[in-house]
Every structure is written in structure tokens, then in C-alpha cells.
Structure 1
Amino acid sequence: MAKTREQDVVDLLLEQHEQIRGLLTRLKGATAGPAKRAMFEDLVRLLAVHETAEEEILHPIARRELLDGERVVSGRLHEEAEAKRALAELYELGVDHPRFDVKLAALAEAVTAHASQEETEEFARLRRELPADRLRRMAGAVRTAEAVAPTRPHPAVGESAVVNLLAGPPVALFDRIRGAIRDWSRAQRR
């Protein structure tokens, strides 16, 4: 039996990028209502934990290890900050707002371009320049970071790994409590 390769950080993040692209596509075609709201909440949660983990684990290593890592990472952080602001604005508007779909389309375009840039520039170089065992260990670190990451965007927190490490767990706890209360409240209305 052939041994399958253990998932590394690039595999993990590429898989998440595909999930994000899929959610964006389904969300753009969804009609207003509870199903669209649930899909959007899934997107918000996935993007929030994904970007936080990249900011805490991936970007600091890319910044240190890649020849021009500072340039590569600063471009991605700027894009991520813009996406957080747009996602937070969409979150506040809600899926039933008349401008939601237009703003979602703009976000989808920006997020897709950002993911493609990460994949071709940052991910490909990390895979070429770092040992495979280190990339596999990084996948574990990303999973751990995602487990304690905020579940919605907090643009005021910033993109710093240190700030995310300090502010992330308390904000994540607040987000999870808020989500549980929201879910309980919805269930009570049925």
C-alpha cells in the first residue's frame, strides 16, 4: 500500500482557499433569508480564523525565511486588512441589506485575487524553500492558531502576529459566546 503524504501547511491553506472560493460562489447565487445568512456566517468564520492563523504562523515565517519576505508579506497583510474591513462592513449590513450583494461581489473579487497572489508567490516559495518536515509542523501550528482565533473580523485589532496572539483568545471567546447566544436565540424563535 502506498504511503500518503502528510498534509503540510500549504496543502491545508490551499484546501481552505478552495472552501472560501466555494462559499463565495454559493453565497453570490443565494437568495436572501436564513440559508444565505448561515452561509455568510460560515464564510465569516472561515475567513476570520484562516487570516488570523496566516498572520500568526505563516506570514512571520515567510517574512524571515524568504529572500524578499518583507515585500511579499506586507502586500498580503495590506490585502487582508482591506478584506477584514469589507467583511466587517458586510457583517454589520446583514445579508438582507440592498447593498449586500454588490459589496459581496467586490469582496469576492478581492479575496480571490488575494488568494491567487498568496498561492503563486508566498505558498509556492515556502514549499520550494522550506524543508517538508517544517511545512508539516507548520500545518499543526496553523490548526492550533485557528482553534483559538476570533470567529469574525476585528479590523481594529490589526494584522500583527503579536497583537493576534495577545488579543485573539479573549476576542475568540467573546465571538464564540456571542455566536452561541445568537444560535440559541434563533432556535427559541422557531
Structure 2
Amino acid sequence: MLLEQHEQIRTLIAQVQSATGDRKRERFEDLVRLLAVHETAEEEIVHPTARREIPDGERVVESRLNEESQAKDELAELYDLGVGHPDFDTKFAALADAVAKHASHEESEEFPGLRREISAEDLRKMAGAVRAAEATAPTRPHPSAGESAVVNLLAGPPVAVFDRVRDAVRDWSRSDKSS
């Protein structure tokens, strides 16, 4: 499931890089949402499990959390800039590179360790927990919240409601203008 999301993220990055105008903005908003939801679920479910279960899990997870923190800051900055800003493409290229490296690290270090150390049945249960975490995750990066599973569990759902209401109003406003 997470590998499929990594592929979706790579696809959206390529679409943002090749698009213009409204299409670029839409693809970027899709990417922001997917990254925010994906990273929140990893911080709540995947990373704590990896920290406990895989050899050298503490080091592996701390490295991933540092990467995620930096990416949240960059993503929030890009969101505030907007796709029409003259610096957007350059800053987005740097983010795209960092996200690709982060996904590669997860795929080569964290995920194989989880597959080795956790039973297939427990991995399926973990996937269900990831889906539940994603359902209540914020849809925008909130760098000031940090990368703590506890903070995500406590603050995430109220922030997610706020984000999802903002998303709905934004989408309604755009659809109302186009009709």
C-alpha cells in the first residue's frame, strides 16, 4: 500500500513539473494532500513499529523523521508561494529530489526490515491501521506540529477537520466560479 502511494507521489511530482496554469495548481494540491496524509500515517503507525521491531530502528526512523520535517517545511513554503510564483519551479525541484530520496530510503531500509520482522498477518493489520490514520489525517503540512505520533494522534483529527472544511470550501468556490 505504501509503495503504491510512493508511486502515486512520483507520478504527481512529474505531473506538477510538466503542467501549467490550473492543471499545475490542481496536481500540486493533490500532491500536498497525498503527502500530508501519507506522512501522518507513517508517523503514527509505521515509524513507531519500525522503531520497536527492526534492528537499528531508532537510527532508521530518526533519519526518516528528519527528512519528513524538512519536507513539511518546504511543502508549506511552496503552498504559500503558489504555483505561479517565479521561485516555485526551482524550489519544487529541490523538494521533488528530497521526496524521491526519502521514499528510496524507506523502500530500502525501513520497509524491508518490517517485512522481515513482522508476520504477514500483522502487516495486513498494520495496513488497516494506516488506512484508519489516513482517514483522520490533516490534508496540509503543519510543520509546527512536529513528527510525533502522539501529537499526530491528539492534534491530527481536529486539524484534519479544519483542513477538510477548507478544502471543501475551496473546491466549492472554484466550481461555483466555473458554472
Normalised by the shorter chain, which TM-score bucket? Answer: over 0.9
Aligned length: 178
Structure 2 partner of 1:4: none
Q: What is the CA–CA distance in structure 2 between the aligned matches of 1:65 and 1:165, rounded to whole Å? A: 21
User: Normalising by structure 1, what TM-score?
Assistant: 0.92
* Structure 2 counterpart of 1:46, from 23, 27, 34: 34
Give the AA of the match of 1:133: E
Distance 2:36 2:12 in 1: 14
Structure 1 position 56, deviation (Å): 0.1
1:8-157 map, 5 Å: 12-31=1-20, 33-157=21-145
TM-score, scaled relative to structure 2? 0.98
Higher helix share: 2
CA distance in structure 2 between the partners assigned to 1:106 and 1:178 by the alignment:
27
CA-atom RMSD, angstroms?
0.6
Identity score, percent? 71
Deviations 1:53-107 (CA, angstroms, capped at 9, x unpaired) = 0000000010011121100000000000000000000000001111101011000
Which has the higher relative contact order, 1 or 2, with Cα contacts under 8 A spaced 6 or more apart? 1
Give the secondary structure class of the aligned counterpart of 2:141: coil
Give structure 1 regions of 4+ aligned residues with deviation exceeding 6 angstroms. Answer: none
Q: Does residue 176 in structure 1 map to residue 164 in structure 2?
A: yes
Please list every run of 5 or more consecutive structure 1 residues that lacks an aligned counterpart in the other structure.
1-11
Stretches of structure 2 that go unaligned for 5 or more consecutive residues are none
